């Protein structure tokens, strides 16, 4: 079955700390991978996406993610977080076969000033 697993449920960091959020997917075919962010009370916003090519993708707000096919992983990173990064982060994968977009459980990031 297709699924996405995010390892961290709730992460608390101080400002300027480095961030890495884990994401693994379960699917044997070609996947399109996404990270979305949802700030409190707001809609989903796309951070970055991977379809093909360079497995290290850069997104908005200084975020990046690395696709490691052998590990079925697509971890999100940011070298130095800010208080404004406090939000919910969702990893998702889309199957080109079905067009479905499947979301992980989400990770709540709290950045302390």
Contact positions vs another protein (CB under 8 A) = 32, 34, 43-44, 46, 49, 51, 90, 92, 94-96, 98-106
Please identify, using beta-carbon distances, which residue of 35 and 81 lies nearer to another protein: 35
C-beta of 81 vs 94, nearer to another protein: 94
Nearer to another protein, 18 or 45 (CB): 45
* Tokens read off for 49: 């996406």
**Smallest distance, another protein to C-beta of residue 79, A:** 25
Tell me how far, at minimum, the Cβ of 103 lies from another protein, in Å: 5
Q: In terms of CB distance, is 3 or 82 closer to another protein?
A: 3
Task: List, in order, residues 6 or more apart from 54 with CB less than 8 Å away.
Answer: none
Place of tokens 């908005």: 60
Tell the smallest beta-carbon distance from residue 87 to another protein (Å): 13
**How near is the Cβ of 98 to another protein at its closest, in Å?**
8
């Amino acid at each position: 079955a297709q699924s996405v697993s995010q390892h961290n449920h709730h992460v608390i960091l101080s400002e300027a700390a480095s961030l890495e959020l884990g994401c693994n997917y379960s699917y044997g075919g070609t996947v399109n991978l996404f990270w979305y962010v949802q700030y409190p009370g707001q809609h989903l916003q796309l951070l970055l996406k991977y379809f093909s090519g360079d497995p290290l993708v850069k997104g908005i707000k200084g975020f990046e993610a690395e696709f490691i096919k052998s590990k079925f992983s697509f971890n999100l990173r940011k070298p130095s977080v800010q208080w404004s990064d406090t939000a919910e982060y969702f990893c998702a994968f889309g199957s080109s076969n079905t067009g479905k977009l499947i979301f992980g459980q989400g990770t709540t990031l709290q950045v302390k000033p």
